[in-house]
Amino acid sequence: MPTLDVSDLNVVVSVLGAFTVLYGLVAVKLKGVWYIGEALPAVLMGMILGPIAARFLDPTQWGSAAPNQQDAITLGVMRVMIGIQLVIAGYQLPARYLQLQYKPLIVCLVPIMALMWLATSVCVLATIPKLTLLATLVIGACVTSTDPILSQAIAKGPFADKYVARPLREIISAEAGANDGFASPFLMLAVNLLRLTENRRETITDGTLSLVERGRGIGEDTENVGIALGNWVIETLIYIVLLAIVYGGVAGYCARVGVKFSLARKWIDTESYLLFPTALALFIVGTCGAIGTSDLLACFVAGCALNWDGQFLAEAERRHDEVNSCIDVLLNFGGFMYLGTSIPWQEFHQPELTGITYPRLIALGVLVILFRRIPALLVTYKMMPSVVKNWREAVFMGYFGPIGVGAIYYLQHTRLLFPKEYAASPRERELLDAICPVVYFLVLFSILVHGLSIPILSAIYKYRDVRPITEDAVELRRRSIYVPTPVNAFKGDSDTFIAYNRFFRPLVNISALPLVRPRSNEDNDSISTESEVEKRQRRLLDIHRVESS
């Protein structure tokens, strides 16, 4: 007799499938007209169906429902989600981009990140009571990096196609990919200094040796500042950062050579070729996790090395790559919906335990949006004239530095670095109690603010009659009569679109397509509905007219 099986797996896949279907039915309106990406609707859906509202999705009850299992699930989801998208972001940059734009990248990864770290820590210190300076430095490091997924939506989305110059888009994408891994030195420095001030040692209690737990990458507890900094240099800068760069570069180089070898002999089919970045990302996430180095940084470097000569992206474009964009969208739906179900609402108001209240969190969110990144860009943008032309572009780049799943990754990673509550010192317990609600709220605040900023900015541009960018025109083949005209493009003929300011540029010196006629208002909304039969009939009619004349 049939039975009803409402298991967690059935519920999760049903909800994810239903949301993907419903979003897809109006995706052109949401993304191309209203400029709303996948993250904001997915998070809102997770919040509605999660434990705070409908109680339809509850990650704490999945699987064996073991205590603290959600932390491990969250860390695993974030690693896979970010790793795959960082490889995709790396190979979609122009050829040799890290070499050609190394100076702006160094500015973004050293002075700008340092200023962002300090500014965010000061904001936390000013709004959240019961936290020491070192504790706020740890929290500030978790949210220092710009989110690679939300930043890719800003750099490559329809709004950017229309209004954001390509050099600015490329540096936003590259910075977001690289600085997720470069947040580790700031985090580990703060953790080492905090552990130094606590100075816990092994103690003998009732004849039993009590060992202090510690995480990889923070060194032994010591009273010596020099030893603490030495641990930070060796275990963080060398083992976590430098090793990840070397490992990612070698993995990406070997992957590129292997792909070239198989392509020359026609051994690799289209499906395997287009799935190669995803497979490479999964391999790197697993192996880097096993040896304890930065999987995020290695994934981005591997993606850049995979397309170092521009040929991988060029071949992917020739094969009409839609696979990786589909994987990207599906990961966004699942990951951000899970994030919406995991928000610790009950911890956002704990005036007695942590001093955290909703007004304090809202004030912190506003301060972080205003001071975390914009002042750093205004101070340093003249050091990167090749990618940031003026102060307006600096403000744009500074404002759109969202906080997202990368911060959740560092939050879960940080909690593994400290002892359990029974072994933690009072200051460490204060940090562990406050870090989760602060980071989660900043992520939620950033998703809401930045998710709604693009539609508002688009309305302002339309009101002020700001003209779209009409440079670097390229010809795009229309693969179906039902494909709508892309943003900032018009119909070339019945089979092509002429598009401006596309992000994807396989080779650095790609030439612009000359246009034979100016763009008209009629082209903006042109969508061909002519079938193949009608095309052949029209061509035959044209031939008969020529012959009769």
Of 180, 415, 173, 409, nearest to 298 by C-alpha is 180
Per-residue pLDDT tens for 292-304?
999 999 999 999 9
Q: Look at residue 72 and tell me whether its pLDDT is greater than 50.
A: yes
Q: How confident is the model at residue 192 (pLDDT cuts 50, 70, 90)?
A: confident
Average pLDDT, the chain: 85
Q: How confident is the model at residue 148 (pLDDT cuts 50, 70, 90)?
A: confident
Contact 45, 340 (CB under 8 A): yes
Q: How confident is the model at residue 1 (pLDDT cuts 50, 70, 90)?
A: low
pLDDT at 324: 85
Contact 335, 78 (CB under 8 A): yes
Q: What gap in Å lies between CA 151 and CA 504, rounded to an integer?
A: 15
3-state helix, strand, coil in the chain (%, to 5): 65, 5, 30
Per-residue pLDDT tens for 16-30?
999 999 999 999 999
- Could you tell me which residues are beta bridge partners of residue 403? none
CA distances from 251 to 98, 247, 254 (A): 16, 6, 5
Q: How large is the angle between the packed helices 276-291 and 69-91, nearest 10 degrees? A: 130
Average pLDDT, integer, range 109-137: 95
Question: How many whole angstroms from its chain centre is CA 385?
Answer: 25
Write b or e for each residue in 367-393: b if 16 or more Cβ atoms lie within 10 A of its Cβ, otherwise e: bbbebbbbebbeebbeebeebbeeeeb
pLDDT at 505: 65
Q: Look at residue 212 and tell me whether its pLDDT is greater than 70.
A: no
Q: How confident is the model at residue 391 (pLDDT cuts 50, 70, 90)?
A: very high
Q: What gap in Å lies between CA 111 and CA 377, rounded to an integer?
A: 10
Per-residue pLDDT tens for 521-538?
443 333 333 444 454 555
Q: What gap in Å lies between CA 53 and CA 30, rounded to an integer?
A: 25
Per-residue pLDDT tens for 344-368?
999 999 999 889 999 999 999 999 9
Instruction: Provide the percentage of residues in the chain whose pLDDT is more than 70.
Output: 85
Q: Report which of residues 482 and 548 the model is more confident about.
A: 482
pTM: 0.87
Average pLDDT, integer, range 171-182: 92
